[in-house]
């Protein structure tokens, strides 16, 4: 059997998939949720409710303010107890709506909807209305990906089941428990895009997931399972496309430029729920795991649930170095456990000191390891230095915006230079500068 892989860079961190095989458990509904207005790429959503308003589960409480934006819905029934602002790991002063839970919880799965006669435009409108975004961490609004420019013919859809981040297992478990639903979701997406072929990319360390799909797919189906070599960041969109199709997304371009669209497992399942049951994105699956976490596992959690609720319910080790939202490679360290679960929260990972990234502020020794492992073929140490010295134009000219922030460079750096943090800083300022122009 051929195993696919991207051609340059990458690393092989220990996967620590200690929650693999644990069934998805529905987390209890919290007493209070705090739902952020900016939990997607693009413009923040505009609040439609005020303090004191009563809301139903699934009610639209904030609407898009631009093409690249996403609707937001009440994840619980209840009363709006506050509308305020808070700082998050990636932004300051993000508006939120706080809801105190109370009222009837809906049964979204009572009846399937017949979507067979709906047009592609109507299906895209349903996805947009449901507020679905990329749930692997990028949080790009799904309806935008499903609406490529008319001059860009989409021929290929890729279901990203790589889940290459250490510790995270929610997508793996979803592939085992929701195989039929995911395949129906794939067919819906192929219909919308007019795609001729779908490839399901799954890393070879998940043989049960590969077998689960192969058992369901017929010989004449336009869907193919492609086993991928276990190598980080195999789940990166551009790396996945290269591994499976041999095509490369041009610098500064999008997968649609070469006729490809990619969604991860959780996003496809959310699209399935939106089309088949009319359910907006009000909850998501995530993994709680880490060093010393006794009750690690995979959980389905309401958007807006305080991280603290999960830590209190399933236990936090007595000693730990950091709590990460997302995976340890691309996630964000947090100190405030009252931060809420968002649409992009794929995991909560607790790291001990032996696995914690500790900056020693040592000078670069020109070893070139970061160059060798960069999957985008960039010069991380140079880009970080240019960003640190405010030379954003030169950094931009050398490919700074192509950095996918995968963390491979920082992982191998013997001087423990915070390369990703410096490049992330430079990218943010570069965006502001170009936006002003």
DSSP 257: G
Instruction: Please give the full DSSP string across 176-227, using - where no structure is assigned.
Output: HHSHHHHHHHHHHHHHHHT-SEEEEEEETT-HHHHHHHHTT--TT-SEEEEE
pLDDT confidence tier of residue 217, bands split at 50, 70 and 90 = very high
Distance of CA 182 to the CA centre of its chain: 17
* pLDDT(229) > 90: yes
Q: Could you read off the pLDDT of 67-109 as tens digits, one per residue?
A: 899 999 999 999 999 999 999 988 889 999 999 999 999 999 9
Report how far residue 297's alpha carbon sits from residue 320's, in angstroms, rounded to the nearest whole number.
18
pLDDT band of 2, cuts 50, 70, 90: low
pLDDT at res. 356: 65
Mean pLDDT across the chain: 94
Paired strand residues for 79: 54, 100
> pLDDT band at 308, cuts 50/70/90?
very high
- 294: DSSP letter: T
Residue 137 is predicted with a pLDDT of: 83
pLDDT-above-70 percentage for the chain: 97
Residue 34: which of 94, 104, 108 has the closest Cα? 94
Instruction: Determine which of 2-11, 222-231, 232-241, 408-417 has the lowest per-residue pLDDT on average.
Output: 2-11
In this predicted model, what pLDDT tens digit does every residue of 177-207 receive, in sequence order? 999 999 999 999 999 999 999 999 999 999 9
Distance CA(16)–CA(351), nearest Å, equals 11
CATH topology classification for 120-277: Rossmann fold (3.40.50)
How many Å apart are CA 165 and CA 234, to the nearest integer?
9
User: How high is the pLDDT of residue 429?
Assistant: 82
pLDDT class of 368 with cuts at 50, 70, 90: very high
Provide the residue ranges of all domains of the chain, joining segments of one domain with +. Answer: 120-277, 369-436
Q: Considering the entire predicted model, what is its pTM?
A: 0.95
Given this model, what pLDDT does residue 417 score? 92
pLDDT on residue 433: 75
Q: Is the pLDDT of residue 277 over 90?
A: yes
- Residue 292: per-residue pLDDT: 87
Do residues 89 and 335 make contact, with C-beta atoms less than 8 angstroms apart? no
Note whether 304 and 33 are within 8 A (CB): yes
């Amino acid at each position: 059997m051929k195993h696919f892989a991207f051609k340059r860079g990458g690393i092989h961190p220990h996967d620590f998939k200690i929650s693999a095989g644990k069934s998805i458990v529905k987390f209890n509904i919290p007493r209070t949720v705090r739902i952020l207005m900016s939990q997607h790429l693009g413009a923040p959503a505009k609040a439609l409710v005020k303090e004191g308003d009563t809301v139903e589960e699934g009610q639209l409480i904030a609407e898009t303010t631009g093409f690249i934006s996403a609707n937001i819905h009440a994840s619980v029934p209840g009363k709006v107890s506050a509308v305020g602002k808070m700082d998050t790991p990636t932004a300051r002063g993000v508006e939120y709506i706080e809801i105190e839970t109370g009222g009837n919880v809906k049964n979204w799965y009572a009846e399937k909807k017949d979507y067979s006669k709906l047009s592609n435009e109507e299906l895209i409108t349903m996805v947009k209305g449901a507020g679905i975004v990329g749930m692997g961490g990028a949080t790009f609004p799904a309806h935008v990906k499903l609406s490529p420019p008319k001059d860009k013919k989409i021929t290929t859809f890729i279901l990203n089941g790589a889940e290459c981040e250490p510790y995270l297992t929610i997508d793996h478990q979803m592939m085992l428990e929701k195989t039929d639903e995911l395949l129906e979701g794939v067919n819906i997406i192929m219909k919308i895009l007019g795609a001729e072929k779908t490839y399901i990319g799954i890393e070879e360390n998940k043989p049960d997931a590969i077998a689960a799909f192969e058992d369901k797919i017929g010989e004449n189906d336009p869907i193919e399972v492609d086993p991928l070599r276990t190598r980080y960041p195999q789940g990166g969109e551009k790396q996945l496309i290269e591994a499976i199709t041999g095509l490369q997304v041009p610098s500064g371009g999008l997968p649609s430029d070469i006729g490809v669209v990619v969604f991860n497992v959780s996003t496809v399942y959310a699209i399935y729920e939106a089309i088949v049951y009319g359910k907006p994105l009000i909850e998501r699956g995530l993994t709680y795991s880490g060093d010393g976490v006794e009750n690690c596992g995979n959980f389905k959690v309401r958007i807006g649930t305080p991280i603290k609720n999960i830590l209190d319910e399933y236990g936090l080790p007595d000693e730990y170095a950091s709590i990460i939202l997302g995976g340890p490679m691309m996630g964000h360290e947090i100190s405030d456990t009252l931060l809420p679960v968002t649409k992009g929260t794929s995991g909560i990972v607790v790291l001990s000191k032996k696995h914690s990234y500790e900056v020693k502020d040592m000078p670069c020794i020109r070893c070139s390891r970061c160059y060798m492992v960069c999957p985008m073929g960039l010069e991380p140490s140079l880009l970080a230095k240019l960003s640190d010295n405010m030379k954003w134009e030169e950094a931009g000219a050398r490919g700074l915006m192509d950095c996918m922030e995968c963390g491979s460079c920082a992982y191998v750096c013997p001087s423990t230079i915070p390369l990703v943090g410096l490049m992330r800083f430079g990218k943010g300022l570069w965006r502001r500068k170009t936006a002003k122009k």
